[in-house]
Amino acid sequence: MTDNERIDEIARHIDSIIGLLGEDPSREGLVKTPQRAAKALWFLTSGYRAEPRSVMEQALFEHEGSQLIVVKDIEFYSMCEHHILPFFGKVSIGYVPDGKIVGLSKLARLVNVYARRLQVQERFTAQICEAVRESLGAKGVIVVCEGEHLCMKMRGVEKQHSSTTTMHYNGVFSENTALRTEFFAAI
């Protein structure tokens, strides 16, 4: 099935959902909504059609240094796998290289690969961390993610000012609290 055929099939389902919700999908304002929504969902889940390792391999460089490298406040937008509602925020990534560094934009692209999947923030954070370590062979990686979840703001407990922070680390960050402290000071 081609991408366009998949999008058309998703649109047919959205048309049915609109009707099941009690709205008239043939109403003027809704006629094109199924197709628009299907295209939006296709984009918002484009991470399923991207390979994290190939994103990182596009810009690997030799580097003899071994000091902490930090890219902070990479914004992301994702969809909660439990309610298919958005969650969004920022990710900060730190790593200690072991002979290789990556072009900085590739870290932001890697965040997008995992954000554009149905997700939970905890897994999202861990996936980024492990992908950076695997791609670079880094001595250690640490990732902190701060997110706001519309599934908590729009429905359920309806808490408007809540946010969630998750972190995942490996390698030298697991062993060295001073290095973790240095990372947190940098972000």
Residue 82 annotated among the catalytic residues of the structure: yes
Is 28 labeled as catalytic in the residue annotation? no
Identify whether 145 is a catalytic site residue: no
- The catalytic residue among 23, 58, 82, 122 is 82
Choose the catalytic residue: 9, 81, 122, 175. 81
Active-site residue, selected from the candidate residues 127, 145, 146, 149: 149
Q: Is 121 part of the annotated catalytic residue set? A: yes
127 belongs to the catalytic site: no
For the purposes of burial, counting CB atoms within 10 Å of the CB of 2, is it exposed (0-12), middle (13-18) or buried (19 or more)?
exposed
Q: In whole angstroms, give the CA distance from residue 102 to residue 111.
A: 14
Annotated catalytic residue, options 121, 127, 129, 168 = 121
Q: Is 187 exposed, middle or buried (0-12, 13-18, 19+ CB in 10 A)?
A: middle
Burial class for 124, CB neighbours closer than 10 Å (0-12, 13-18, 19+):
buried
Per the residue annotation, which of 63, 83, 130, 148 is the catalytic one? Answer: 83
Give me the helices (H) in the chain, please: 3-20, 33-44, 52-57, 104-115, 121-136, 150-153, 172-175, 177-186
Q: Which of 63, 148, 151, 182 is catalytic?
A: 151
Which residues participate in catalysis according to the annotation? 80-83, 121, 149, 151
